Amino acid sequence: MNIILRPWKISDLDRLVKLADNPKIAANLMDRFPHPYTKEAGENFINMAMSGRPASVLAITLDGEVVGGIGVHPQIDVYRKNAELGYWLAEEYWGKGIITEAIKLIVPYAFDNFDINRIYARPFGGNIASQKVLEKNGFHLEAHLMGTFFKNGQFLDELIYAMRQ
């Protein structure tokens, strides 16, 4: 499996919109990841991703083709030594170990390129696949908060997984 993380390019727009426009993907992400996923949303996302120096939001590619996205988002103020990890993968690639490999690639990149000592992720309580992939990559459950997320008309648990340098 040839997984590479690389910066997003405007030429990725059509592929991004095609893959990201899936309610099953949006269901496990924050509301700022829209559904339906429009060309305008894709343009805004790619422009944001391309503005980072160094890039903190990257395309996940398999054999040279975009299959998803992953990013680390450095925090500010008293949280400034932390970065939040986020990721998504096109449904047709689920269950193939791609996100596991992408996280293995982004963790050292994040620690090398940003002034942080902790990376955390906040999957929804019902997103078992995301919990397992974080655990496979050495993330530890630090907190289980009951009903803190409100998504699609229901309250969901928030899990906080983290890894320290």
Domain that includes residue 54, residue range: 3-164
Q: Choose among 110, 54, 58: nearest CA to 81.
A: 110
Q: Choose among 120, 111, 138, 133: nearest CA to 83.
A: 120
**Per-residue b or e along 138-159, where b marks 16 or more CB atoms closer than 10 Å to that residue's CB:** ebeeeeeeeeebeeeeeebebb
**Which pLDDT score is estimated for 1?**
79
Q: For the domain that residue 79 is a member of, what is the CATH number?
A: 3.40.630.30
Residue that is written with structure tokens 């910066």 in the block: 7
H helix or E strand, kind and range, residue 5 = strand 3-7
pTM of the complete model = 0.95
Write out pLDDT tens, residues 9-66.
999 999 999 999 999 999 999 999 999 999 999 999 999 999 999 999 999 999 999 9
Domain count across the chain: 1
CB distance 8 to 46 below 8 Å: yes
